[in-house]
Amino acid sequence: MTAATPVSDAELRAWIAGHRAELLADLSAYVSLETPSHDKALLDTALDWLDGYLETRLGAPAATRRTGGGAYGDIRVNDYPGTGSPVLLLAHYDTVWPAGTLAGWPFTVEGDHVTGPGVFDMKAGLIQLVWALRALDAAGLPHPPLRLLLNGDEEIGSPASRPLIEQAAGDAAAVLVFEASADGALKTERKGVGIFRLEFTGVEAHAGLEPAKGASAIDELARAVRRLHDLTDLESGTTVNVGVVSGGSGANVVAGAACADVDVRVASQAEAARVDAALAELRPHDPRASIEVRGGWNRPVMERTPGTARLFEQAWEVAARLGLDLRECSVGGASDGNFAAALGRPVLDGLGAVGAGAHARHEHISVAGMIERAALTAALLRDLAAR
């Protein structure tokens, strides 16, 4: 490829396909680094590797900063100069897989099929992005000013990285998230996620001798569970699930304490407000008991705004030039893109791997899908630089 003559999207894809072996070698090295969200030492090792890898493949960034994540993975932000309005790129490096998983499930390539812990969610996404940028560089083509943020706590809700993500998104004209696709589709809507714990306090008493002197925390829990599940409204996209309950000290004791862990998913801020109001209105059946609600909204709703719709249309046009039928969808899971969307930024999510099996032992990706998505990313970034 040469900048002396116009470079087509097909030529970008052909160049990336010609580097298939190197792309897979990069992915192998990355997947072979275990990065469980709760293992700070392994996360530090992986981020050190990523720092070296990015500099080797992309050159030194114009600016870089590494922010400590405390008990969680550190956050790296690299800025790369470009043309036009800035674009934020999001990619987390932590996975749900515990240390030792690789021993029984190594990185494996069989034809077009690649498997290994974290390959789909979401290590292939970052490798695709890197090779998209390499393709643009090889062709002498522009891209927008890019801010790449890598975080190691996404799988547990981004407790340390959220403020940095929001800060990085502040002046972004677009946000591209390299999470895995949904059966090949980009994600233009994601639900908001609430994680709550309800704590019930009662009055203990002997269940046989003096039951009237007790106020059962478990009875309060049971009544609240029914009210909480009644908040589910599938037509509105709202689900409320009490997934874990515990309490009591013995079958012959009126329970003095109990608790319930609740997962809430909503498709709009209006539904989030409805759930908040219902939680605030919870009252104990027995006045001697009490209910305390802890937790909150882990991620805000990622709604399909007009800006996101225009960004998807632009990606669709690029895909059509590549002969691809690009689709969009709404999903119940959340990502770091939710934070940027809540700030009003146009967000395209799911630009990562084509495959399946997130958080499951059949996690896998397609090599052809990696090449197509890297080409799509390269061509989209070129177009964004021109507008």
The CATH number of residue 309's host domain is 3.40.630.10
Report the alpha-carbon angle 150-191-349, nearest 5.
40
Residues 232-250 have pLDDT tens digits of: 999 999 999 999 999 999 9
In a domain, 294, yes or no: yes
Phi/psi of residue 110, each to 5°? Answer: -130, 95
Question: Residue 6 has what pLDDT?
Answer: 73
- Looking at the DSSP bridge assignments, the partners of residue 201 are 257, 290
Report the alpha-carbon angle 267-273-275, nearest 5.
80
Say whether both 206 and 253 belong to one domain.
yes
Tell me the percentage of the chain whose pLDDT exceeds 90: 98
Enclosing domain of residue 340: 9-190+302-385
Say whether both 167 and 209 belong to one domain.
no
Return d(Cα 274, Cα 277) in angstroms, integer.
5
Say whether both 206 and 179 belong to one domain.
no
Return d(Cα 37, Cα 306) in angstroms, integer.
34
Identify the domain boundary among 257, 282, 299.
299
Question: Residue 5 has what pLDDT?
Answer: 58
Say whether both 106 and 204 belong to one domain.
no
In a domain, 131, yes or no: yes
In a domain, 4, yes or no: no
Say whether both 185 and 132 belong to one domain.
yes
- Looking at the DSSP bridge assignments, the partners of residue 349 are 187
In a domain, 3, yes or no: no
Say whether both 108 and 176 belong to one domain.
yes
Say whether both 236 and 126 belong to one domain.
no
- Is there a contact between 298 and 194 (Cβ–Cβ < 8 Å)? yes
In a domain, 363, yes or no: yes
Say whether both 84 and 183 belong to one domain.
yes
Say whether both 284 and 373 belong to one domain.
no
Type of residue numbered 114:
V
Say whether both 212 and 309 belong to one domain.
no
Give the count of domains, the chain: 2
**With the C-alpha atoms ordered 159, 163, 168, 170, is the resulting torsion angle positive or negative?**
positive
Question: Residue 1 has what pLDDT?
Answer: 61
The CATH number of residue 276's host domain is 3.30.70.360
Q: Which residue has the tokens 């470009």?
A: 82
In a domain, 2, yes or no: no
Identify the domain boundary among 254, 280, 299.
299
Residues 87-126 have pLDDT tens digits of: 999 999 999 999 999 999 999 999 999 999 999 999 999 9
Pair of tokens at residue 56: 């080797």
Residues 253-287 have pLDDT tens digits of: 999 999 999 999 999 999 999 999 999 999 999 99
Say whether both 222 and 249 belong to one domain.
yes
Identify the domain boundary among 284, 299, 314.
299
Say whether both 125 and 91 belong to one domain.
yes
